[in-house]
Chain A
Amino acid sequence: MNSRLAKYKDFKAADFFADEDFVQTTFQNGDPQNDFWSELGDHFPDLIAEMERATMWILLIKGQELAPSGLSSHQRWAGIMAQIPVYEKKQRQTRVIRKILRWTASAAALLLFAMLTYEISQYGPKATNTAFGQQREVALPDASIIKLNSNSSLSYVRGWKTDKPREVWFEGEGMFEVKHTAIKNRLRENDFFVVHVGDLSLTVLGTKFNVKDRRGRIEVALFEGSLRVQGKDGMDRLLAPGEMFIYDENEKANQIVHSDVNRALSWTRGELSIEHSDLANIISVLEDNYGYQVIVQDSALLHKRFTGVIPVKGIDDILFVIKHTMNVNIEVKNKQIVIKPN
């Protein structure tokens, strides 16, 4: 007996229903394979009823009527044709919105990056310098303001913590307005503000003072509050408003004098106060703040005294005053000033 026939010997309707060959034949009625199934029926007459039943199942399921719909194909098609332009428009808008969103996202990311970079750059050491003839105002993170005169430099480290005093390192001349941060009855380390200049440390809370560090001589003039000066060899002095502390770096000598502290501030108003000073004093300003080399041909001139206030917009103003009050001849060549007797 054919082994293929034998395979179906004990088949029931459900088995034929599950048999791919049988199902295929039923789908394609009239296939030559049909002969196989009639041959099977000849061999096993019992199977005929089972096959007929399986065929019936398939035909019954296949014979389901299509569900009737309210809309005709024609109406459906018209609906689709009407909807396509609407959808395309919406798609375009979505694409534009998506593009805008993408752009906004990258802009936001860029902004965030810039802000982060800026924030990070604000930490760590900072330094500010002024060139000859230049002045600048520096605002510190704690809202203290420092006005730098020409040829001066200020540096500090951002990251002032609450357990450390605020600290700056300073050279040249500058006017400090330190923000008072202490709250009543509560003094913390960072309420102190320390200026390191030369060998000295100036400690304040919130005050206004001028520091001048030129030619080995440091002058600290206090306008408000109090200021503590500490130096080498345990030097520790307290300054009251209206007092000026003078320190000679070579001699390690210091003294406190009463002085017109406003004079010390004249530079911030664009003036040069030369009361009770001689030509040597003015020359030091020319050299320290403007970077000139000054040659005085007759040393006797150095001790000639002046009194008054010179408005200084620039070097020319100073030279004009010297020339006319001392009756001298002045030559300016590059960065060199030569003063000769007339």
Chain B
Amino acid sequence: MNSDQQIWQMFQVGHEPSFKILFERYNRLLFNYGFKFTQDEDIIEDSIQELFVKLWCNKDNLSSDVAVKNYLYKAFRRTLVKKIEQSLRRADMTSSSVDYLPFTIELPHDLSMIRQERALEVRDRLDQALQQMTARQREIIHLRFFEELPYPEIAEIMGLSTKDTYKLYYRALDSLKKHFGRFGLLLLLHLLNQLRYN
């Protein structure tokens, strides 16, 4: 299979099948990502459509050297957030900052991939820990472990600095530790160290 990069370059010279491969690779994932912000499917579908239509129409003006997945998520998130804010404003909701947009992580109910008797318990406690986090912390965790994106790219997608992303992430870990107990002083020191070096 060709890399995103190769397909991107083909797409940029107007190769429609490559454009379609890009679409096939990412459209379901983007919908999934969007669904974490809002359950309004129209808004998500509009955002996906706008993203790909603009991508095709402006392909000549795009950089040929991009991290494709990163680029798509970033552009999609920007479009989606804009549309959600618009609809909130229409509904006369005052707090329309990105920070207040929800982000849901729906842990799987089918736990057959985990060969562990305590899987159910772990899942419920992880679920609780995730609930305690802020939406943006959940978003970081999702992008890191579900989308397997590295932190600098997560920072870019979310419009944060890499440093702020790490900070948010380590604060999220606190929540995990609280829910799984045995939180030693040594670990705290270790954590502070890691904070300093990042």
Residues of A in contact with B (beta carbons under 8 Å apart) = 10, 12-15, 17-18, 23, 27, 52-53, 56-67, 69-71, 73, 76-77, 79-80, 83-84, 87-88, 91
Given contacts A15-B190, A77-B23, contact A83 B113 (CB under 8 A): no
Tell which of A18, A23, A65, A88 touches B106, judged by Cβ atoms closer than 8 Å.
A65
Given contacts A10-B186, A77-B20, contact A70 B122 (CB under 8 A): no
Tell which of A18, A27, A53 touches B122, judged by Cβ atoms closer than 8 Å.
A53
Please determine whether A61 and B107 come into contact, CB atoms closer than 8 angstroms: yes
Q: Does B133 contact A (CB under 8 A)?
A: no
Please tell me the size bucket of the interface on B.
Answer: 35 or more
Please determine whether A64 and B41 come into contact, CB atoms closer than 8 angstroms: no
Please determine whether B122 and A56 come into contact, CB atoms closer than 8 angstroms: yes
List residues of chain A with CB within 8 A of the CB of B180.
12-14, 53
Q: What are 8 of the A-B contact pairs (CB < 8 Å)?
A: A10-B186, A18-B194, A56-B126, A61-B146, A62-B145, A70-B41, A77-B23, A79-B49
Please determine whether B49 and A67 come into contact, CB atoms closer than 8 angstroms: no
Residues of B in contact with A (beta carbons under 8 Å apart) = 20, 23-24, 27-29, 31-32, 35-36, 41, 44-45, 48-49, 52-54, 56-57, 105-108, 110-111, 113-114, 116, 119, 122-123, 126, 141-142, 144-146, 148, 169-170, 173, 176-177, 180, 182-184, 186-187, 190-191, 194
- State in angstroms the CA–CA spacing of A150 and B119 once bound together: 114
Given contacts A13-B180, A56-B114, A62-B145, contact A84 B57 (CB under 8 A): yes
- State in angstroms the CA–CA spacing of A56 and B108 once bound together: 12
Say how far B90's CB is from chain A's closest CB, in angstroms: 22
- State in angstroms the CA–CA spacing of A222 and B128 once bound together: 107
Please determine whether A84 and B56 come into contact, CB atoms closer than 8 angstroms: yes
B189 to A, closest residue via Cβ: A10
- State in angstroms the CA–CA spacing of A63 and B142 once bound together: 11
